Amino acid sequence: MFEIGRLAVKTAGRDAGKKCIVIDTADKGFLLVDGQTRRKPVNPKHLEPLGQLIKINKGASTEEVAKALKPLGIETTSTKSKSPAEQPKKQKINKKDQAEPDKKGKKDKPKEDKKETKKEKPKDKEDSKTKK
């Protein structure tokens, strides 16, 4: 019933109501279609055949399909593949610039603590001597 070049209308899916041409038979009874629809394998149950048969080669390219449909007044939309977006550039960070503030802050605090503990110890010794 569906031979190569058969004009059909999709009845199900995203492309429902759009016209297409059968280009090839795919695996498990599916048909490869192209036209106003996306080029993809389709279940024949989702196609409604029309009376027209267009001369087209098996596995024709999308451009050939567009040329074959133009005389019938059916316009196809050409889709272009998206070019990948530019990745943001990473900013270089100097490790020295980041490490210096942290080191200064850490070094100052322990020194102060050590000085205070040294001062306290001699006072304790003096107090212990005076008590005896």
> Is residue 24 located within the same domain as residue 59?
yes
Phi-psi group of 77: left, alpha or beta (phi > 0 → left; psi -120 to 50 → alpha; rest → beta): beta
In a domain, 118, yes or no: yes
**Are 10 and 65 in the same domain?**
yes
pLDDT tens-place string over residues 53-62: 999 999 888 8
pLDDT of residue 6: 92
- For residue 102, what are the contacts with CB-CB under 8 A and spacing of at least 6? none
- Beta-bridged to residue 24, according to DSSP, are 32
**What gap in Å lies between CA 31 and CA 21, rounded to an integer?**
10
Average pLDDT over residues 39-47: 92
Answer whether residue 81 is part of any domain: no
Q: How far apart are the C-alpha atoms of 28 and 31, rounded to whole Å?
A: 9
Domain enclosing residue 100, as ranges: 94-132
Per residue in 59-114, pLDDT (tens digit) is 888 888 888 888 888 888 776 677 888 888 888 777 776 666 555 555 555 555 55
pTM for the complete prediction? 0.56
Half-sphere exposure of 17 (CA within 13 A, CB side): 1
